[in-house]
Every structure is written in C-alpha cells, then in structure tokens.
Structure 1
Amino acid sequence: MFSMNMIPAMVASVELMLNRWKKMDSNEVEMNAEFRMLAAEVISRTAFGSNYLQGKEVFEMLKEMGTIAGRNYYNPRHLGLLGKIVKSNDDLKSDELQKRIHNVIIKTVKEREKTMGHEDADNTDFLGQLLLSKNNIINSQGYQLSTQDIIDECKTFYVSGDGTTSLLLSWAVLLLSIYTEWQERAREEVFQIFGKETQPHFEGLAKLKIIGMIIHETLRLYPPGIAIIRKNEREVKLGNLIVPANIILHVPVLALHHDYDIWGGDAHLFKPERFSQGVSNATKNNPSAYMPFGFGPRNCVGSNFATNTAKVTLAMMLQHYRFSPSPNYVHLPVHITMLVPKNGVQVMLHALK
C-alpha cells in the first residue's frame, strides 16, 4: 500500500494545505475538515497520479457511501429478509454510487492503459503499479489481476487511507496543541533532521522517533476503529474457553487501549514516552493489546500509508506553525463507523518567525 515514491505527492499535497492557510483571515482552523481535504488530495495523487482529479471524484462518492453506511449501521431492517427485498432510498443511492464509482475507475484505467507504453509515462503511482501487474502471474497458484480486482483495490486504497489518515492527524494535532512540551520536542526533532525549510524525505522520516511515539500514543487514545469484528472458521480454544465455529467475535480495541491492567494507572493520559522502547515494550504484559490497525495477517493495509502521511504532515506543520487549542473547541468524540470528533477540531495557528 505504501512506497517511498509516494513521499513527493504527500509533500506537494501538504504544501497546498499550508499555502491555503496563509490566505485565511483568521488563525483559527478546523483541522478535521482540513485533513479530510488533505487525505483526498494525497490519496488521489498517490493512487491516480496525473488523473488525481478523477480520483477526487471517486473519493467524494466513497465518502457519501460511508455516510450512508454509518447512518444504517444499527438499522435492524438490513439484517432480515425485508431489507434484501425492499430497498430503501439509502439502498438505492448506494447502488447508484457503486455504479458511478465503477464507471469512473474503468474510464481512468482505459485512459491510463493507452499511455502505459509511452517513454515519458510515469507509472509509479498505485494505479500504474496495478496495471503493470495486471498481465503478470502474481502468486504460486497462477493468479492474475482482473479489471474488477483493480477496481476493488482502488476502492480499498481510498477507504483504508481516508479515515485513518485524517482522524490520526486531527487527534494528534489536538493533543500537541494541549501538550505543548511534546509539540516543542517534536519541532526540535524536525529541525534537527530536516532543518526549517527542507522538505521531508523518505530517509529522514524513519529518524522521526519522537513523532513516531506521538503517533503511537495518539492511536492508542483515539484508535480510528474502536473495535475489530471477526468470524472464526472453526472451533478454537482460548484459555479455558471453547469458541464454536462460525461465531462472530467482537474485539473492543478502545477498551483494550485504555485498560489499566495493561497500560498502568495513567492509561487515560497522553504519555508518548510509553513507546520510547517500541510497541512491544509499551505495555505491562501484553504487546498484542495495541491494535489501532488490527492485528496479524488481517492488519489494515493502509496503516503504513496513514502513519507516513501523518509524519510528513506533522513535520511540515511544525516547521511553519505553533498551535494551541481554540476557545471554541468542544471535546466530543463519537463513534460513526470510526471514532470522529463530532464538533470538529478547532485549533489556533501561530506562524513561526
């Protein structure tokens, strides 16, 4: 999902955001809205390259589908026979959006295929890499990517990167605006590695240890997905508990991330130093209890993309601004498919001299 070739697109997208902030009359910025726009820009550029405007169109339609899904998350009619026979307005709208998304991606794929063989063609973006793989056998069973596979992969890229990226950044900036000592430590680290003007690059991102700790602690306190739902295929024994086959398992990530027995009596506090010795040493007795992107082979494919986008964004913000909470901010995290700030995240920006 992530490659070093995506860094320039991330940097260019953050630059657009920073330039937009210079033109604002007020120094109060609603960060969640800004980071949603940033995520759309970054994902569209890294997924579709020069066709990123078409990528933005896909992004907006998937965003609308996400809103519909959240609205119907607890609707019991979708679980019964009636929901399969009689379609609601939301069902019909989802079907329409699915068709439009399919058509846009198909059009983009066909346009790209026409230019793939040109000498000046840049196929380093996500779509280009998928198309290069389309005619190659990609596993030991002789499987080859189909056009539908490419469409599905593009959808997954958007969905995996959008919410995780924008929410991670929103909560991280809020926490850094409150805990200014960590904001200053992170800024000092950025200045040491990139200076005050140099754009972030792949080699430098790996050296951002303090920002890495901040990202981990943000994801612990505010994991984008508050739970993981899985279905076990066969009977399994968990300690003294026998779990029959075909049982739906609900893993409460948010509860695990705030458990005093796992993290200690200060589990509710923002303390990035927990991760100074890495994730495996952050907990008292159970390193697998930290799972902001899931765990094991089903780990979220957008995790590296989200964390590297966050590193680039935070580094460039810290080079240009200090930030503090706005008096208009009201803290109200709510679960709407993901853990979102219902009232947004208003932050005061102060340009560095």
Structure 2
Amino acid sequence: MEEYYIFKLLAISSALLLLYPLITVVHAIWWRPKRIEKQLRQQGIRGTSYKLFHGDIREIKKCTGEAWSKPMTLDHRISPRALPFFHEMLQKYGKLSVFWNGTRPRLMVGDPELMRLILADKNGHLVKMPLNPLTSMLQLGLSILEGEPWAKHRKLITPAFHLEKLKRMVPAFETSCFGLIDRWKKLISPQGSSEIDVAPELQNLASDVIARTAFGSSFEEGKMIFELLKELTKLVHESFQKIYIPGFRFIPTNKNKRRYNIVKEINAILRDMIRKKEEAMRINGDSGNDDLLGLLLQCKEESDTDNNNGLTIEDVIEECKFFYFAGQETTATLLTWTLIVLSMHPDWQQKARDEVLHICAKRTPDFEAINQFKIVPTILYEVLRLYPPLTSLYGHTHQKTNIGGLSIPAGVDLALPMLLLHNDPNYWGEDVEKFNPERFSKGISKATKDQIAFYPFGWGPRICIGQNFAMVEAKMALTMILQHFSFQLSPSYAHAPCTIITLKPQYGAPIILHRI
C-alpha cells in the first residue's frame, strides 16, 4: 500500500513538472495580460483589446507603413505622420488609453500633469522600459541605469556640463562651425547658390563637435564610430517593430551577426581612444578633465584608489557610446528641422539674421553674445515644440504604482507622446499648428495657458544632462549659418517627418543656400 502511494505521488509530481511550463506560458500570454486589461478597464481606461501573443504590433506596423508611404503637405501638423498609431489612439480613446506591444500592455499618457508626475518619480517605482536584447543595443550608459548606480554615475558626469565647462567648449564649437561654413562656401560661388542636403552635413557638424569637446579628437578620428552607430540605429529600429522570440539573438543570422560585430568594432575603437588618452594623461601629468573622456577616466582612477565601486573601464566605454549617440543625434536633428522651418518661414529667418548681425555683425559669436540673443532661442524652442528630436518617452512599472489617483499594475509600459502634447490646442491655443516663436518670448513657463506642457528634454531627475550643451551648440551653429547664408527649400524637398529613434526627414533636407 505504501508503494502505491509513493508511486501515485511520483506520478502527480511528474505530471505537475510537465504541466508547469505550459501553465507558465499560458499565464504569460493570456491570464496575466487579461488580468491587467481588466484592472485598467475598471478605472475607466479605454483602448484596444488584447490579442493573443502579437497584441497590436501588426496594426502599428500597418498604420506606420501607410502614413510613411507618401509625403505630407507643407505644414506643421506632423503628428498623423510622425506618430500615426499614437495619433489614432488619441482620436479614438483620448489622452489616456491602453494598447498592446505583444503581450505587454502599454499605457499612453497624454495629460501634461500625469506626464510630469511620471517623469518626476523619485520613489523608484518607475524604471526604464525593458527592451529585448536586440533593441536594447542603443540603451547606453546613464540611459539604462537605475537607482544608486544611476545616481552615482549622474553625479560623476554632471560636472562636465557645468556653465564654466560650456564656456571653455565654445572655441571647439567655433572650430567645428568654421569647418561647416568653409565647406559650404567652397560649394557656392560668390553671390551664387547651391543645393545641399543639410541633414548629413549637420550630422557631421554635430559629430565633430562631440569628438572635439568630449574626446579631444577631430571628426575624422571618430568618423567610424558615427557611421557604425548610424548602421546600428537602422538595425535596432527594424528589430523594434517585430515580435521578439526568446533566444533569437543567439541564432547566427546575417543581421544578428552584423549587430554584434558593430558593437565589438565600436568597443575596440573606444578602447584604443581610452588607451591613448590615459597615456597622454600619464605623460603630460595633467588631470585630463577638460573633456568628458578625461573626466570619466579621472573618476575611474579615483574609484580604483578608494575602492568605492565607481566607474569601471566598461562603464567608461558605455558612457562614451551614449554621449556619442545622444549628443550627436539630438543636436543634428534640432538644427536640421530649424533650417527646414526657417526656409518655410523666411520672415522669421530674416528676424533671426537681423538680431545676429545687430549683436555680432560678422564677428564670430562668443558665449556672452550667445546669451544676449532673444529671437534665436525662441525660434529653437518653437522648433523643439513642433519637431522634438524624441517624439515619445517611455517608462515601465516594475511594481504596482499609484500616479495621480490611477492604480497602475506592475509590468505596464508607459508611453508619453511628447509630440502630441506639444500640439494640444488646450495648452497652446488655437494657433497650435502655426510656427510662432513669440509664444516663448516670456520664457517656457509662460508659453502655455495654465501649466507647462513642453518636455523636449524630459523632466524631473532624469532630465537630459546635456540639454545646455545642445542649446549652446545649436545657437552657435545657427548664428554662424545666418551670418554667411540665406536659405530656402529646394523644389525637390518632400515634407516627410518620420520617427526612427529620433524625428528625421524621411527623404532628406535639400535646401538651396545663397552666400551673403
């Protein structure tokens, strides 16, 4: 009889072992999504219904494909094209709605007060949205850290962006801008004109600025990193639109192999740059903290000395990659859309030029001159409103969270479509779709009716650490371009904003430049 019970127990245990994987899968792809959907519905949150396994991924891909299939009219109502699925969700379900990224619920939040509460989270309930191993390749440095490691890294890196540091970087900005101006002048005869796609030109400019100010090298020395990051961006965006099957990254497909080879190549280049920098610091006997790489290496040496678990060599490499990508991409995108928009609005182009010539004449602007501008910064802010480099920000609840009276279950992605908020007439007025820099004439806090609804660099403790760097660089570049050229859209320009990590002109930015 005892043997019978032992046999029965073993049989039940074996059955449970066989059923456990099945139960786990069913829980992940059905019970859990449906339970979260019910909890959100009970709070009045509308949206799409969960579809087994793929969620809304097919609909998102179809919606995006249709929106990007042809250019739009030459205006600033870009949300239906740049964020087509989010725009559609807003029209159907309002500013708070849920849709599905595979089996994961994604809560779209379009209310500025809720956005502010989410971005200002200090209790650690909200974290970066987890990505699969292929799409996470561009989440680098500070962008992937949480909690104490993030706080420590942020504290170590922040001094590189202090006002005094930025002042000392202005000559490097000038050198890079002079290179751009000279290159364009060679393409245009005196009093002549030439058509140039300014998008890659301004990417090269931003790349050169980053290379000089952060790593003390010229663009040519860092060119390979930028080209590799550009290729990796395309591969990451492609994988972002597909359902990820666990373990797929280990399958040696051509694209998988290329993704990992790119990362290896970038790491090898940066290791060599770090080796050269460390050698120069040792030979010259200086601290090396005049650029970001030197500052990071100084932090590493200090942490090695007092054993406080500070920066490792791998940390330095990741921070370098993050600054390379984020610093170059954000400013290049802002400047590209600024030239496009000022080509569409020649009256504002002339107002900006008049201000620049009044303050600087043909002299190269210094830090003090840049701070005297009134019109130029309002133009840049208005471009950031209409064409923010990052059209959306994302978060994730790793535990049950209460935000503004909403109870959000653990495991929910949060999508904050900044572009939709920047185009909401409830906050910006009936002229929301018009280019009107004057709305920022009294500062950002008074640009909207009742509350701040302007988050191009994020908000709260994780606000972009390099925003002042980006704005000084953009002001310097725009000023020098206005001093030497007037510009207009080429007849070949097609207005087609699209979101590929950042907001890009799908068919480039061909502009006709005139020497003045």
Structure-1-length-normalised TM-score? 0.92
The letter of the residue matching 1:255 is L
- 1:130 is displaced (CA, Å) by 1.7
Further displaced range: 41-50 or 233-242? 233-242
| Distance in structure 1 (CA, Å) of the matches to 2:488 and 2:405 | 50
In the other structure, the counterpart of 2:48 is: none
In the other structure, the counterpart of 1:328 is: 492
CA contact (8 A) 2:391 2:502 kept: yes
Instruction: Find the residue that maps to 2:389 and give its secondary structure.
Output: coil
- 1:213 is displaced (CA, Å) by 0.6
In the other structure, the counterpart of 2:431 is: 266
CA contact (8 A) 1:70 1:337 kept: yes
CA contact (8 A) 1:262 1:284 kept: yes
CA contact (8 A) 2:211 2:217 kept: no
Cα pair distance change 1:260/1:146, threshold 3 Å: same
CA contact (8 A) 1:135 1:144 kept: no
- 1:236 is displaced (CA, Å) by 2.9
Percent identical: 38
Alignment of 1:150-169 (within 5 A): 150-169=316-335
- 1:48 is displaced (CA, Å) by 1.6
In the other structure, the counterpart of 1:19 is: 182
Pairing 1:341–2:505 present:
yes
Pairing 1:236–2:398 present:
no
In the other structure, the counterpart of 2:203 is: 36
Unaligned 5+ segments in structure 1 are: none
CA contact (8 A) 1:227 1:254 kept: yes
In the other structure, the counterpart of 1:94 is: 259
| Distance in structure 2 (CA, Å) of the matches to 1:39 and 1:167 | 9
| Distance in structure 2 (CA, Å) of the matches to 1:44 and 1:344 | 24
Further displaced range: 339-348 or 232-241? 232-241
Pairing 1:106–2:304 present:
no
| Distance in structure 1 (CA, Å) of the matches to 2:227 and 2:253 | 21
- 1:120 is displaced (CA, Å) by 8.6
Cα pair distance change 1:46/1:261, threshold 3 Å: same
Instruction: Find the residue that maps to 1:268 and give its secondary structure.
Output: coil
Instruction: Find the residue that maps to 2:414 and give its secondary structure.
Output: strand
Further displaced range: 178-187 or 228-237? 228-237
Q: Deviations over 1:146-186 (max 9, x none)?
A: 11111111111111112211110011011112212211221
CA contact (8 A) 1:70 1:336 kept: yes
The letter of the residue matching 1:56 is K
Deviant stretches of 4+, over 6 Å:
none
| Distance in structure 2 (CA, Å) of the matches to 1:59 and 1:340 | 16
In the other structure, the counterpart of 1:66 is: 233
| Distance in structure 2 (CA, Å) of the matches to 1:102 and 1:213 | 39
In the other structure, the counterpart of 1:8 is: 171
Pairing 1:206–2:206 present:
no
Unaligned 5+ segments in structure 2 are: 1-159
Pairing 1:301–2:465 present:
yes
| Distance in structure 1 (CA, Å) of the matches to 2:430 and 2:253 | 48
In the other structure, the counterpart of 2:217 is: 50
In the other structure, the counterpart of 1:351 is: 515
CA contact (8 A) 1:44 1:52 kept: yes
| Distance in structure 2 (CA, Å) of the matches to 1:120 and 1:142 | 24
Instruction: Find the residue that maps to 1:159 and give its secondary structure.
Output: helix
- 1:134 is displaced (CA, Å) by 2.1
| Distance in structure 2 (CA, Å) of the matches to 1:133 and 1:191 | 42
CA contact (8 A) 1:160 1:301 kept: no
The letter of the residue matching 1:239 is G
Cα pair distance change 1:32/1:58, threshold 3 Å: same
Pairing 1:174–2:347 present:
no
Alpha-carbon RMSD:
2.1
Further displaced range: 307-316 or 43-52? 43-52
For these two proteins, the number of residue pairs brought into alignment is 347
- 1:283 is displaced (CA, Å) by 1.0
Q: Deviations over 1:122-156 (max 9, x none)?
A: 65122122222222259x99442211111111111
